[in-house]
Structure 1
Amino acid sequence: MEAALTLPLTVFLILGTIQLFVLLQARALTQYAAFRAVRTGSVKHGSCEAMTHTAIAALLPSFARTDSPEALGTAFRVHRDNVFNPAWDQGHTGSIVWLARERPRREEIPPDEEETFDDPARYTSLADVVRLEVRLVFWYPMRIPFANWVLSRMFLAHLGLLDYDAVDPLQPAHQAHWSGKVTPSLDAAIQKELLERTSRKEYVFPLQATYTMRMMTPARISEFATQNCPPTPLGL
């Protein structure tokens, strides 16, 4: 009897602990991916494609096999379009990363940027230095069975996005009620995307990191057709 009561809780504690530790690993990789993406963009005129590919390559170990050169190459080929593959990613779909270019703003890039970029006379103060600042959102797919659903509902309830109410069918007196309030730092675009994926039973957690670096090459207007790298919403 004691085993029947405690075994489900023990299994959840084990699975939940594993999922949380893997989530922490993904958090560290998100910070590294933000650095690598900005480093690439700084020498590639702020190219979205180059930054997106670099970020995905850095994040692959958190959700795909990369234990050999062949596995790494295959995983990157499958995910290079910045979209989860349902056959490879346990049914997950949607974007892998969002990249929001905070700086430079498109309207702030001078038309003669490439001609004057290396002119020492241009830099009279620190404000004249062109910096690339990118905010990266990694839609980390939680893949540990059962723990992914429970943790997802806990996160949503804590953020005030989706309350959880349930009654124990064996003991109706036991009723769960998880709720909280929206964290102001969570953007409306992220809230909307998180709810949409949850409704499709795709349990993800949006990990965020920001990095800034001086540009080593001039920002090109052609690379800033949109301020954020597609498919990142403009409101992010």
Structure 2
Amino acid sequence: MRSVPTRAQSGQAAVESAIVLPLFVFLILGTLQLGLMHQARLLAKYAAYKAVRAGSLHNAKVETMEAAALAVLLPILSTRTSGEGGIEVVKPVGSAEEFQTKFEELKNNQMPGANLKYAEVTICGPTQEEVSGGGEFDFDDPDNIHPDGWRENHRTKLRIQLTLNFRLVVPFADWVIYKAARGREVPMLMRMGKMKAEEQSKTSTRRFGGAATGEGPYESAASQGIYIMPIRTTYTMRMQSNLYLGANALPASNACLFPFSY
């Protein structure tokens, strides 16, 4: 007579644990992952400053700007261990030797297993229309500076957007955050909405300045278990060197991407 309620209570506790445990585990792991993402956001802002400063001094060369940003972001970037089935680890950068070693490993700026760069710089401006009229644009020519005209004054300012493709490294929390952020199908208890099929297609085929962008590379990486969140930040600085229009392909229009626009 006494054993029946005990078994019933035991079964009830097992059901409650099965419901609560995934959320409890996600709460702990998700907090760790979100903390790392916040750190990445702060570093991305500083990396954007270093990138635009390098571009200001080196004729807006994208490769130079990306290398400057990569040097700032080294402490949070993961590298793949050698051998069959190597895993991703975040090696510390606590000395000049560790910095040099890790920079040599990542200087090609290509993420293993994904067709993405660690740090990608997009020139927002000046555009071809703003600086048209020659092969070289003199940044300190008085004729190119118009203090009274906001648009004309921006012709001598380099405006960039830095995209940090941050890999989520905490197990379980990575795919939950990735799918929830994009409205993909996840277990009902963790669902924050579902993106419609036509919206997925629109986002995947979105194009800016003739270059395909959007979610294609991210979805391809996610299918291999690599979950990447793009963190974007912008910075503006006045040029301290001339723009060579032939060597640097300036955008025809503002080519920067913003997370809230489709």
Residue equivalent to 1:138: 164
Secondary structure, aligned partner of 2:56: helix
Instruction: Quote the residue 1:113 is aligned against.
Output: 136
CA contact (8 A) 1:109 1:219 kept: no
> Shift of the alpha carbon at 1:220?
1.3
Task: Tell me if structure 2 keeps the 8 A contact 1:34–1:209.
Answer: yes
CA distance in structure 2 between the aligned counterparts of 1:177 and 1:217, rounded to whole angstroms:
50
**CA displacement at 1:180 relative to structure 2:** 4.1
Which residue of structure 2 lines up, in the alignment, with residue 61 of structure 1? Answer: 75
Q: Which residue of 1 aligns with 2:231?
A: 207
Distance (whole Å) between structure 2 residues aligned to residue 156 and residue 196 of structure 1: 14
For 1:46 and 1:176, the matched residues in 2 are separated by 44
**CA-atom RMSD, angstroms?**
3.0
- After superposition, residues 135-214 of structure 1 pair within 5 angstroms as 135-157=161-183, 162-164=184-186, 178-181=192-195, 188=206, 189-214=213-238
Equivalent residue number for residue 231 of structure 1: none
Cα 1:120–1:73 shift into 2, 3 Å: same
What TM-score, normalized to structure 2?
0.69
Question: 2:128 & 2:256 partners in 1: Cα distance?
Answer: 15
CA distance in 2, matches of 1:51, 1:235: 15
Q: Deviations over 1:70-98 (max 9, x none)?
A: 2211111111111024xxxxx56632122
Question: Any gaps of 5 or more consecutive residues in structure 2?
Answer: 1-9, 78-89, 207-212, 258-262
**Percent of paired sites with the same residue:** 30
Deviates more, 1:216-225 or 1:43-52: 216-225
Partner residue, 2:30: 16
Q: 1:30 to 1:151 in 2, by over 3 A?
A: same
Give yes or no for the alignment of 1:100 onto 2:122. yes
Where does residue 103 of structure 2 map in the other structure? Answer: 76
- Structure number with bigger Rg: 2
SS at match of 1:13: helix
TM-score under structure 1 length normalisation: 0.76
Give the superposition deviation at 1:118. Answer: 3.2
1:7 is displaced (CA, Å) by 5.1
- Are the aligned partners of 2:126 and 2:157 in contact in 1 as well (CA < 8 Å)? yes
Task: Quote the offset at 1:16 in angstroms.
Answer: 1.0
- Separation in 1 of the partners of 2:237 and 2:62? 15
> Does the Cα contact within 8 Å between 1:156 and 1:163 map onto a contact in 2?
no
